Amino acid sequence: MRKLESIRCESQWVKGMYFLRRTGWACVLVVVAIGSALGCSGMPSLEEQERHVRANELLLHQLTPRAFVGEWGLPTYQHTEFMQFFGMKDDELIPRSRLAAGEPPRGWEVRIEAGDALFLAYPDRGWLVVFFEERLVYREKLTAAQLHELGRSWQHEDKFRSRFESPAAS
């Protein structure tokens, strides 16, 4: 009799685990949907992002490319490429292309991230802004001449880039 009860309890436990496993993903999706609807994504609203851009408050991990385009207009130059980033203590990610060959940045933590980077150059404003996973991770104040030189180098590179080297269209 005890053996039968034990088997019944185990059977109910297994059925319960199956139910949790089956509905677990549904529960996670519901929580994510509710969090997104309530604005719990950690990103400020687009209007707030644009206000920061307007005030030249270029906050790391708090601004998207849409905020810059919405506030400053289309960039004079834009460039996308697969890039390695050096992770810094202040959470800035410095693109490998912005450093001298073989030189790590001063204050670098031993952290590297990699993926498609979006570079936007605004010579009229004097800013190079770089995005990784749709978030601002690097900003650099440069002269208009430096930004035009950088933009021309991107255009030159793009002439010789194969379709295999080009990032996938999103």
pLDDT tens, N- to C-terminus, the chain (170 residues): 555 454 454 555 445 444 434 544 443 333 334 344 444 457 899 999 999 999 999 998 999 999 999 999 999 999 999 988 878 877 778 777 777 666 666 666 667 788 899 999 999 999 999 999 999 998 999 999 999 999 998 888 777 765 655 555 54
Residue identified by tokens 């292309």 is: 97
Q: What pLDDT score was predicted for residue 29?
A: 36
| Cα-based torsion angle of the residue sequence 136, 142, 147, 148 in order, rounded to the nearest 10 degrees | 160
- CA 162 to CA 28: how far, in whole Å? 41
pTM attached to this predicted model: 0.66
Question: What pLDDT does 14 receive?
Answer: 46
| Nearest-10 Cα torsion for 162, 123, 70, 131 | 50
